Amino acid sequence: MFFAPILNCCNKFFVYVCHPEIVRYKKYVKDNYAKGKKCKIRTAYGRGWKNAVVILDKKYVFKFPFASRDKDFVRRISMIEKRVVDAFRKISPIYIPKLELIEWNGMIIRKFEYVNGKQITDFNPNEISTENRKKIAKQLANMIHVIQQSDPIELRDLKSNPEEKPDITRGWMHADLATNFLMDDNFNVVAVIDWEDTYWVDVRWAFAKLNKSLDRRRYYGIFMNTLFDYMIEYLCDKK
Return the higher-pLDDT residue of 235 and 239: 235
Identify the weakest region by mean pLDDT among 91-100, 146-155, 181-190, 230-239.
230-239
Using DSSP's 3-state secondary structure scheme, residue 223 falls into: helix
Beta strand pairing call for 41-45 and 189-192: unpaired
Dump pLDDT digits (tens) for 81-106: 999 999 999 999 999 999 999 999 98
Question: Considering Cα of 183, then 235, then 210, then 51, what sign does the dihedral take?
Answer: negative
Question: How many angstroms separate the Cα of 176 from the Cα of each of 20, 60, 126?
Answer: 28, 22, 23
The pLDDT of residue 55 is: 95
Return the higher-pLDDT residue of 16 and 181: 181
Of residues 134, 131, 117, 126, the one with CA closest to residue 183: 117
The pLDDT of residue 93 is: 98
Question: Which residues, in sequence order, are bridge partners of residue 101?
Answer: 110
Of residues 84, 106, 19, the one with CA closest to residue 54: 19
The pLDDT of 54-78, averaged and rounded, is 88
The pLDDT of residue 10 is: 42
Is this structure's pTM higher than 0.85?
Answer: yes
The pLDDT of 99-125, averaged and rounded, is 96
The pLDDT of residue 238 is: 77
* Residue 40 clears pLDDT 80, i.e. is over it: yes
Are the C-beta atoms of 108 and 78 separated by less than 8 Å? Answer: yes
Return the higher-pLDDT residue of 7 and 95: 95
Are the C-beta atoms of 56 and 39 separated by less than 8 Å? Answer: yes
The pLDDT of residue 45 is: 76
The pLDDT of residue 204 is: 96
Task: State the pLDDT confidence band at 72, using cuts at 50, 70 and 90.
Answer: confident
- Domains within the chain, CATH numbers bracketed: 20-113 (3.30.200.20), 120-237 (3.90.1200.10)
What letter does residue 92 receive in the DSSP assignment? -
The pLDDT of residue 44 is: 83
